[in-house]
Structure 1
Amino acid sequence: MNEPHSATGNAVLVNALSSSMRSTLNGMESVPGLVRQVVEEGSWRNFTTPRGEHVTHKSFESFVTAKPTRGLGYSIDELMRLVADDAETLRLVTDLIGRPESDFERPESQENVWIEPEAQDVAGESQQELVWRDPSDDPEALQEAEAAAEPDADLNDPVNRDAFELRLVGKSGGWVWALKVARSVQPSKAGGHEESDHHDPNEGGPGRKVSVSEFARLTGWSTRRVMRYHRAWERGVEMHALPSFDQLKPGMDVPLPTAKTWTECFAPGDVSPERAEALVTGAHEAGISVRKVIYAAKSPGAMKAAILADESTAEAARTALLERARNDSELRTALARTIADDPVFRKETAVESRKAERAEYVRHVAGEGKVRTPAGQTLALPQDARQEIAKLLEVVNGPDATPEAVAEAYGTIQSFTTLAVEADPEVQLREQRTKFSKALSTTAKSIQAIDPNDLAAVADDDLREKLTELQKQVNELATMIVNEERAHPRS
C-alpha cells in the first residue's frame, strides 16, 4: 500500500476508476483491475481533481463514499459487488478496510446483478441498460488525459485514444483492454511483429488500424504484451463468440463477456501459448490466482530456492511431482532412473519397498483372518491370534510406523503361521512334502542345466569328488524311499 506517485499521477488512476464505475456493465469489467491498482499504489490517499483541487483521504472507505470528484460516490457494499469476482482484489480491499470477506457474500440469486446508483426514474422503474462507452468519453477524465498527452497524440483518433488509455492504466487487464487492442491492431499476415511502424498516409487516416509495433509504441508496451491481449481476444472469439478481428473497427464497441471468463483466455507473463493454456487450466483446478501460477512457472530458480529452504514448500512440491508422475510415463521413468542410479535413494527405496510389502500383508491377514503357508495352503487363524493381529494393524497403519516396527509385526504373523501348521498333522505333512518336492525340483533343474561336454572339459579332482558325493546322496535317498515304500505299502 505504498504511495509512489505524485498527486497528479495518482489522479490518472483515480479518474480512470471513477469513469469506469460510471459506465455500465461491460465498461465495469475493468473496475476490479483498476481498484486493485489504486489500492496497491495507494493512489486513493492523495490526488488532484480535474479542477486542480488537492484531495487527501485517511481511510479507503472515505475515498469510496466521498462525492465525485473528491471520491467515487459509492457505498462500500456497492464497490464490493463490483470486485466480488476478482478474489485477489476482494482480499486486498477487505484487508484494507478491516472487514472479513463474509460480510460481502451475496445470495446465489443475486450473483452478477448490479443496479446503477440513481438508475431509477421518478416512477421507480429502472432505465434501459446503456451501451458500454469508453472511459475517455468522460469529460473530466479526457481533460486530465489531454493535459498529460504526448505532443503527437491526437485523442480524437480512436486508435490513439485507446493506446493513450492503455499507457495510463496499463497495469489493468480485462476484456475492455483486449477490445482496445483487438479493434486497433492489425498484425502482419505471418503473425509477427515486424510490420512497418507507420501505414502509408495515402492508405488510411484517423481511425485506421495500426501494426503491433506501432500500437506498442503508442501504449508504451512491448510488442509481446500487445500480442498477449491480441491472443486473449482470439481465444475469446473461439470460446465466447466474440466478433472476429476483421469485424472490428477502431472505436467500435461490442458486448463483452463477464469478468470471470477473462482468465480463461488471457495468459499474463512471457510464456508460450501452449504453456499458458496448461498453466491457466491448472490454476483454475487448484483455485489459485493465474498470475501467481504464471509467476511460479517463470521463476524456476526462486521455486528451487524455496523448496530447498522451506519444508512446507518441499512437501507441496513432492506431492505435486507424484501427482503428475501418475499420469506422465516419461516423468515416472525419469524418477525411477534417478533413484536407481543413486546409491542413497536405491538403498532407501529397497527398505521402503520391503516395508510396504510387509505392511500390506499384515493388512490383508487382519482383514481376512487367514494366512498363507509357504506351500500355498490357506489357514484360518484362531480368535486369539486375530485379536493380536488387530493390535499389530494399528502399529502398521500408524503415521510414524518404522521399517523395524513393520518387520516385527510381519514376523509375529509368520510365527502364528508356523503354530497353525504345527497344530494340524495333515497340514504339516503337506507342507513338508511340498518343501522336499521344491528342493528336488530345483536340484534337478540345476543338474539338467549342466552341459556334459563343458563339464568334462574343465573337471578336476574336486569337481569329480563333489559329483560322486552328490550321486551317493541321491542313491541313498532313493533307496531309503523305496525300502520305506516296501515296508509300509499304501492301502
Structure 2
Amino acid sequence: MAAVPAPVPPLDGVSEVAAASDLVARDARTFGVYARTGGWAFALLVARNVRPGGQGVDEAPAGSVKVSAKEFAALADCSPERVMRYYRAWDRAADDGMVPQFEALEPGQDVELPDADVWLGYYSSRNSAGSERGTAIAEAAEAEGIRPTKALEVAENPTALRAAILADPSTAQAARRALLDRVREDPELQAELARDVVRTDDLKKAVATESRSADRIGYVRQIAESGQIKTPAGQTVDAPADVRHEAERHLSLIDELAEDEDSGEWASDAYDTMKNMVAETVQADPELRVSERRTKFYSSLQKATKAFEELTFDDAQDFYEDDMLARLEDLQQAIASCLTALRGARGKGRPQGSGPAE
C-alpha cells in the first residue's frame, strides 16, 4: 500500500539544482506515487473531491465542499465520463474494503492506496459496463465467480485476447471450452464455424478423423450398453457374455482416456477387436451363419431389383448401343442360373415363400 506523500526534504545524492526546485520535487513525488499505485492515485483525486450531482454545503464535511463530476472535469480539462470511470472504480474497491468510502474522504486528504497491480481489476477503460453488451458480460462473469470488470477488460481488448490464445495453450483450451458452450446456443455461430471448418483442409481432415473415431466408439458402446451385436449382414442379435464383457472393458479404457491425445488409437483398436469377435460369433453358430447368408442374399437381391427397376427404355433409340444388349443378355443368363440353383434347392431349405429372417 502507498499513500500520496507530503513534501519531503532533499535526499542525499540529489543535485543542488534538483533539491532546490519545488517543481522537480513535486513531479518526482507524483511519478513515484503513480509508479507504485497506478490509477489509484488519480482515483483518489476524484474520490476525495467529487460527488456526482454536486454537494450542498450542509451535506459536506466541515470546511470542505465537493463538486460534481462535470465541474471537476471542466477544471481537469477532460470529459465527465472519464471522471466517472475513476469514480466507479473507487466505488467498487470501497465495496470490497480496499479503500475508504467516499463519505470518509475530504478534499486534500491522503490515504493508503492499493498496489498498482490490482487497479485493472476495478477500472474499466471504456464505458461499456452499462450497455446491453456490458451487462451480459458482467452477468456471465458473476455466474463464473469472477469480477465483472475483469471480463469487461478482456472484452474491450480482443487483440490481447487473441495474443494470449495464440501464445498460451491453457488460455486456448479455456477459449475452446467457452466457444463450445456458446456454439450450443448460437445457430449463427454454428454455421460460421462449420463454414470455417469445411474451407480449411486441415480442419476438415481432423473433423473426418474424429467423426470416424466417434462412430467406432459408438459401435463399442452400443454392444456394452445394450448387450446386442449387429452382424455384418445387419442382423441384431444378443451378444455372447464374453463379447459384451470385452466391449465393457474397452469402453472403460476409452472413457478414461477421453481427453488423451491417443484416445483415437484406443478407439480404433477396440473397434477392430469387437468386429473380429462379432465375425467369430457368427461363424461359431451354424444357425446364425445360415441366417447371415440368407440375409445377405435378400439384401443383394433387393438392391439388384431396385437398380433394375430404375432402368427405363422409353427412349432407348436415343442411346442404344450393342454393349447394352450384350450386358443384359449376360444378366439374363446369370438370373437363369440363379433360378436353376434355387429351384434345385427347393424343399431342402426353408419353405417356399417364407421370406428373409427377421
TM-score band by shorter chain is 0.5 to 0.7
- Match status 1:311 vs 2:169: yes
Aligned to 1:7: 6
Alignment match of 1:464 (pick from 305, 313, 325): 325
Aligned to 2:184: 326
Alignment match of 2:210 (pick from 352, 359, 368): 352
Residue 281 of structure 1, CA deviation: 0.8
Residue 439 of structure 1, CA deviation: 0.9
Residue 396 of structure 1, CA deviation: 2.2
Q: What CA deviation, in whole Å up to 9, does each residue of 1:337-365 have, x standing for no partner?
A: 11112111111101101101211221232
Q: How does 1:29-428 map to 2 (within 5 A)?
A: 42=36, 169-170=45-46, 180-181=51-52, 183-184=53-54, 216-218=73-75, 220-225=77-82, 268-272=124-128, 273-373=131-231, 374-383=233-242, 385-397=243-255, 398=257, 399-428=260-289
Q: What CA deviation, in whole Å up to 9, does each residue of 1:40-91 have, x standing for no partner?
A: 8647xxxxxxxxxxxxxxxxxxxxxxxxxxxxxxxxxxxxxxxxxxxxx9xx
Residue 305 of structure 1, CA deviation: 1.1
Aligned to 1:442: 303
- What letter is aligned with 1:424? D
Looking at structure 1, the residues matched to 263 and 316 of structure 2 have their Cα atoms a distance apart, in angstroms, of 49
Looking at structure 1, the residues matched to 244 and 350 of structure 2 have their Cα atoms a distance apart, in angstroms, of 41
Give the TM-score taking structure 1 as reference length.
Answer: 0.49
**3-state SS, counterpart of residue 378 of structure 1:** strand
**Could you tell me whether the CA contact under 8 Å between 1:279 and 1:290 is conserved in 2?**
yes
- What letter is aligned with 2:74? R
Residue 467 of structure 1, CA deviation: 1.7
What do you get for the CA RMSD once the two structures are aligned?
3.8
**3-state SS, counterpart of residue 7 of structure 1:** coil
Looking at structure 2, the residues matched to 477 and 268 of structure 1 have their Cα atoms a distance apart, in angstroms, of 82
Looking at structure 2, the residues matched to 328 and 219 of structure 1 have their Cα atoms a distance apart, in angstroms, of 45
Looking at structure 2, the residues matched to 167 and 306 of structure 1 have their Cα atoms a distance apart, in angstroms, of 29
- What letter is aligned with 2:157? S
**Could you tell me whether the CA contact under 8 Å between 1:267 and 1:277 is conserved in 2?**
no
Looking at structure 1, the residues matched to 294 and 152 of structure 2 have their Cα atoms a distance apart, in angstroms, of 67
**Could you tell me whether the CA contact under 8 Å between 1:224 and 1:270 is conserved in 2?**
no
Aligned to 1:188: none
**Could you tell me whether the CA contact under 8 Å between 1:306 and 1:313 is conserved in 2?**
yes
Structure 1 residues 303 and 454 mapped into 2: Cα distance closer, same or farther (>3 Å)? Answer: farther
Structure 1 residues 42 and 349 mapped into 2: Cα distance closer, same or farther (>3 Å)? Answer: closer
- What letter is aligned with 1:293? A
Looking at structure 1, the residues matched to 350 and 225 of structure 2 have their Cα atoms a distance apart, in angstroms, of 44
- What letter is aligned with 2:236? Q
Looking at structure 2, the residues matched to 167 and 351 of structure 1 have their Cα atoms a distance apart, in angstroms, of 55
Aligned to 1:74: none
- What letter is aligned with 1:381? P
Residue 475 of structure 1, CA deviation: 2.1
Structure 1 residues 352 and 312 mapped into 2: Cα distance closer, same or farther (>3 Å)? Answer: same
Looking at structure 1, the residues matched to 331 and 290 of structure 2 have their Cα atoms a distance apart, in angstroms, of 26
Residue 299 of structure 1, CA deviation: 0.9
Structure 1 residues 354 and 422 mapped into 2: Cα distance closer, same or farther (>3 Å)? Answer: same
Structure 1 residues 472 and 342 mapped into 2: Cα distance closer, same or farther (>3 Å)? Answer: same
Residue 167 of structure 1, CA deviation: 7.7
Residue 458 of structure 1, CA deviation: 1.5
Structure 1 residues 457 and 403 mapped into 2: Cα distance closer, same or farther (>3 Å)? Answer: farther
**Could you tell me whether the CA contact under 8 Å between 2:229 and 2:238 is conserved in 1?**
yes
Gaps in structure 2 of 5+ consecutive residues: 9-31, 56-64, 90-121, 353-358
Q: What CA deviation, in whole Å up to 9, does each residue of 1:93-141 have, x standing for no partner?
A: xxxxxxxxxxxxxxxxxxxxxxxxxxxxxxxxxxxxxxxxxxxxxxxxx
Give the TM-score taking structure 2 as reference length.
Answer: 0.66
**Could you tell me whether the CA contact under 8 Å between 1:268 and 1:294 is conserved in 2?**
yes
Structure 1 residues 456 and 402 mapped into 2: Cα distance closer, same or farther (>3 Å)? Answer: farther
- What letter is aligned with 1:7? A
**Could you tell me whether the CA contact under 8 Å between 1:276 and 1:294 is conserved in 2?**
yes
Q: What CA deviation, in whole Å up to 9, does each residue of 1:193-245 have, x standing for no partner?
A: xxxxxxxxxxxxxx9x98x866632465424336769999xxxxxxxxxxxxx
Looking at structure 2, the residues matched to 267 and 459 of structure 1 have their Cα atoms a distance apart, in angstroms, of 82
Q: What CA deviation, in whole Å up to 9, does each residue of 1:243-267 have, x standing for no partner?
A: xxxxxxxxxxxxxxxxxxxxxxx99
Of stretches 365-374 and 296-305 in structure 1, the one that deviates more from structure 2 is 365-374
**3-state SS, counterpart of residue 238 of structure 2:** strand
The percent of aligned pairs where both chains have the same amino acid is: 32
- What letter is aligned with 2:156? K
**Could you tell me whether the CA contact under 8 Å between 1:269 and 1:294 is conserved in 2?**
no
Residue 271 of structure 1, CA deviation: 4.8
Of stretches 466-475 and 453-462 in structure 1, the one that deviates more from structure 2 is 453-462
Looking at structure 2, the residues matched to 454 and 8 of structure 1 have their Cα atoms a distance apart, in angstroms, of 106
Structure 1 residues 416 and 230 mapped into 2: Cα distance closer, same or farther (>3 Å)? Answer: same
Residue 479 of structure 1, CA deviation: 2.9
Gaps in structure 1 of 5+ consecutive residues: 10-37, 44-88, 90-165, 186-206, 233-265
**3-state SS, counterpart of residue 452 of structure 1:** coil
Structure 1 residues 467 and 228 mapped into 2: Cα distance closer, same or farther (>3 Å)? Answer: farther
Q: What CA deviation, in whole Å up to 9, does each residue of 1:291-350 have, x standing for no partner?
A: 221111111111111111111111111111111111111111111111112111111101
Aligned to 1:73: none
